[in-house]
């Protein structure tokens, strides 16, 4: 699925999308001063844009792919509900919007200055779908299932997708031979029993399983896979696809013969993650509905998500954009630099087999300064491939105090990955980098200011026949010095 021709068949898919809908209102403006009444910014609105949110955003993404979309959702008998109806009609979605008495259409208002979100205002009251409307909803969906290639349930825990409605729809889909993909919410997934696929993110998987997952752990993917497999078997679904934010996505089938399938993320500049999960659900559903195998569908969903996070607001991805990203990522597989510990071990093994010299250095890199740049430049000169280990936020807080890090690990790793000297960046949470070094087994390790006596990582690399190089320090530069300088009154 690497060319435009391959993905063109997505536009012929007919999809039924059911779930919580909301109106996303974006207030764009400027902030030029702080209020004299309180230390808060004064926001001046300039323009407003309304967009479909929740399952409405899923439908909008499907429409952008050229799919035929039947949308079933609940709105109130109000002006906001009318706006949702008009927006759905304007993009060619067949909207079946059920108006529930005494229910107010959900509205999420975001205040945005430049590219920065200042505030989000949620106007909502969680209200469970009543029995009568549930029956009407089921009947409406039953009339539409035959024409659909696949059914998507988008649950935002607003009371529409009740246990009763979900089970009625899943049972009807099974009867008609239709796959159901669920974007879940909450801790109880039993209402999704019988679905083909459930797609939680990492936070949602943690809530549903009660387990914690650390991307800096060398067993991160294994831990996620075990939890996802146990949950999928417990609730009786065919499989689970866990989205891992900047670490890609992981598919786990409930079949004992299947192996987990991990797909790394496609590196893009992130402006706004609003609606990225909706885009992933839409692209995945369209791809599976078109007959793609899971690995192909994941690749398409991954590409679509990388596109919308680089746009502002709840955005969509077109087939042309997805095709371009897939083509770019296939022709330049080394372009993705921020990786997991498990990934860097595999990557290193392949690079060594290709005859590359592997170098390693590490640090916090809280404020990337000239000293860091010089060290990275010098370390890169010693090897073909330079891997940079970065201390996690938790490690820095533990060892340097609650005021640190100044910049979180995602920011620090992104800045490092932007440097031409750096080939790969990996976060670790151990007391020292030694466990990571033992896994990578670099040919060269380099760091400023360390002698072998107090450098166990260097001694290990020496012991396996590698080089340990003490880099020259650029005097006058340190993160602590920069912080203290900034604190001093001008």
Provide the annotated active-site residues.
278
Handedness of CA 398, 401, 403, 407 (dihedral sign): negative
Whole-number Cα distances in Å, 82 to 50, 121, 257, 315: 12, 20, 50, 21
CB 107 within 8 A of CB 80: yes
Instruction: Determine the Cα–Cα distance for residues 359 and 456; give it in Å rounded to an integer.
Output: 16
Q: How crowded is residue 114: how many other Cβ atoms within 10 Å of its Cβ?
A: 11
Handedness of CA 288, 294, 297, 301 (dihedral sign): positive
* 155: its two tokens: 């649950």
Instruction: Determine the Cα–Cα distance for residues 107 and 431; give it in Å rounded to an integer.
Output: 46
Instruction: Determine the Cα–Cα distance for residues 313 and 49; give it in Å rounded to an integer.
Output: 9
Q: What is the CA radius of gyration of the chain?
A: 25
Cα pseudo-dihedral 170, 244, 93, 148, rounded to 10 = -30
Instruction: Determine the Cα–Cα distance for residues 435 and 391; give it in Å rounded to an integer.
Output: 13
Characterise 210 by phi-psi region: left (phi > 0), alpha (psi -120 to 50), beta (else).
left
Instruction: Determine the Cα–Cα distance for residues 462 and 161; give it in Å rounded to an integer.
Output: 60
Q: Name the residue with tokens 């003490």.
A: 470
Instruction: Determine the Cα–Cα distance for residues 198 and 234; give it in Å rounded to an integer.
Output: 12
CB 100 within 8 A of CB 76: yes
């Amino acid at each position: 699925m690497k060319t435009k021709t391959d993905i063109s068949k997505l536009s012929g898919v007919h999809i039924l999308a059911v779930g919580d809908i909301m109106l996303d209102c974006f207030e764009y403006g400027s902030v030029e001063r702080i209020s004299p009444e309180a230390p808060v910014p004064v926001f001046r609105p300039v323009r407003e844009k309304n967009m479909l949110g929740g399952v409405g955003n899923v439908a909008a993404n499907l429409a952008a792919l050229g799919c035929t979309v039947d949308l079933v959702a609940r709105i109130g008998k109000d002006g906001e509900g009318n706006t949702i109806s008009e927006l759905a009609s304007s993009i060619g979605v067949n909207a079946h919007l059920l108006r529930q008495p005494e229910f107010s259409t959900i509205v999420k208002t975001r205040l945005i200055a430049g590219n920065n979100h200042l505030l989000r205002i949620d106007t909502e009251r969680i209200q469970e779908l009543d029995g009568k409307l549930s029956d009407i909803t089921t009947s409406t969906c039953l009339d539409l299932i035959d024409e659909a290639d696949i059914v998507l349930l988008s649950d935002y825990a607003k009371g529409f997708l009740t246990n009763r409605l979900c089970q009625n729809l899943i049972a009807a889909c099974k009867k008609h031979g239709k796959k159901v993909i669920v974007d879940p919410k909450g801790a109880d997934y039993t209402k999704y029993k019988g679905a083909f696929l459930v797609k939680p993110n990492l936070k949602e998987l943690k809530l549903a399983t009660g387990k914690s997952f650390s991307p800096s752990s060398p067993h991160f993917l294994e831990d996620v896979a075990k939890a996802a497999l146990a949950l999928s078997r417990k609730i009786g679904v065919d499989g689970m696809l866990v989205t891992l934010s900047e670490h890609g996505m992981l598919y786990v089938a409930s079949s004992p013969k299947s192996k987990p399938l991990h797909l790394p993320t496609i590196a893009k500049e992130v402006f706004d993650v609003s609606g990225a999960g909706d885009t992933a659900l839409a692209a995945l559903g369209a791809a599976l509905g078109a007959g793609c195998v899971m690995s192909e569908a994941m690749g398409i969903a991954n590409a679509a998500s990388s596109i919308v996070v680089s746009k502002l607001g709840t955005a969509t991805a077109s087939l042309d954009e997805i095709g371009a990203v897939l083509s770019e990522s296939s022709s330049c597989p080394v372009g993705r630099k921020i990786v997991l510990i498990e990934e860097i071990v595999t990557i290193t093994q392949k690079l060594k087999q290709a005859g590359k010299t592997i170098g390693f250095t590490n640090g916090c890199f809280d404020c990337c300064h000239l000293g860091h740049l010089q060290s990275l430049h010098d370390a890169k000169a010693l090897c073909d491939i330079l891997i940079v280990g970065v201390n996690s936020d938790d490690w820095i807080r533990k060892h340097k105090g609650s005021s640190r890090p100044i910049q979180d690990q995602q920011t620090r790793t992104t800045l490092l990955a932007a440097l031409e000297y750096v080939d790969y960046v990996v976060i670790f949470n151990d007391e020292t980098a030694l466990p990571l070094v033992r896994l990578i087994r670099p040919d060269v390790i380099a760091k400023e200011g360390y002698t072998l006596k107090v450098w166990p990582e260097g001694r290990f690399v020496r012991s396996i026949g590698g080089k340990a190089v003490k880099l020259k320090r650029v005097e006058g530069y340190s993160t602590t010095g920069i912080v203290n300088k900034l604190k001093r009154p001008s």
